[in-house]
Amino acid sequence: MTAVLTPTRTPLSALVAPTLQTIPEAVAANVRQVRAATSSTVMAVVKADGYGHGAVTVARAAVDAGAEWLGVTEVAEAVALREAGLSVPILSWLNPAGADAVRAAAQRIDIAVGSVEELRQLVADAEEPVRVHLHLDTGMARGGCAVDDWAELLRVARRGAAAGRLEVVGVMGHLPRADEADPAANAAAVLRMRQGRDAVLRAGFGPLLVHLAATAGALTDPSTHFGMVRIGAGLVGIDPSETVALAGASRFTASVVHSAGVPAGTAVGYGGTCVLPRATHLGLVGVGYADGIPRQLSAEAGVEIGGRRYPIVGRVSMDQIVVDTGEERYPRGTAVTLFGPEGGAVPSIQDWARWAGTIPHTIVTGIGPRVQRSIA
Q: Which residues are annotated as a binding site for substrate?
A: 142, 318
Identified binder of ligand PLP from the candidate list 134, 233, 257, 301, rule CB under 6 A: 233
Q: Report the residue number, 240 or 283, with the smaller CB distance to ligand PLP.
A: 240
Assess 45 for contact with ligand PLP (CB under 6 A). Answer: yes
Q: Report the residue number, 75 or 231, with the smaller CB distance to ligand PLP.
A: 231
Peptide bond into 222 cis (omega under 30): no
Binding residues for ligand PLP restricted to 244-303, rule: CB under 6 A: none
Assess 93 for contact with ligand PLP (CB under 6 A). Answer: yes
- Shortest Cβ 69–ligand PLP spacing (Å): 11
Piece of the chain touching ligand PLP by CB under 6 A; list 19-27, 99-107, 214-222, 327-335: 214-222
Q: Which residues are annotated as a binding site?
A: 142, 318
**What contacts 369, CB < 8 A, 6 or more positions away?**
none
- Shortest Cβ 240–ligand PLP spacing (Å): 5
Q: Report the residue number, 185 or 321, with the smaller CB distance to ligand PLP.
A: 185
Piece of the chain touching ligand PLP by CB under 6 A; list 145-153, 199-207, 224-232, 345-353: 224-232
Measured in whole angstroms, the distance separating CA 25 from the mean position of its chain's CA atoms is 17
Q: Report the residue number, 43 or 282, with the smaller CB distance to ligand PLP.
A: 43
Q: Is 270 a catalytic residue?
A: yes
- Shortest Cβ 142–ligand PLP spacing (Å): 9
Identified binder of ligand PLP from the candidate list 105, 231, 312, 353, rule CB under 6 A: 231
Identified binder of ligand PLP from the candidate list 40, 186, 215, 334, rule CB under 6 A: 215
Assess 114 for contact with ligand PLP (CB under 6 A). Answer: no
Assess 230 for contact with ligand PLP (CB under 6 A). Answer: yes
Task: Indicate the burial class of 1 (C-beta count within 10 angstroms; 0-12, 13-18, 19 or more).
Answer: exposed
Assess 50 for contact with ligand PLP (CB under 6 A). Answer: no
Piece of the chain touching ligand PLP by CB under 6 A; list 59-67, 77-85, 197-205, 226-234: 226-234
Residues at the site binding ligand PLP, with contacts judged by CB under 6 A: 45, 47, 93, 174, 214-216, 230-234, 240
* Catalytic positions: 47, 270
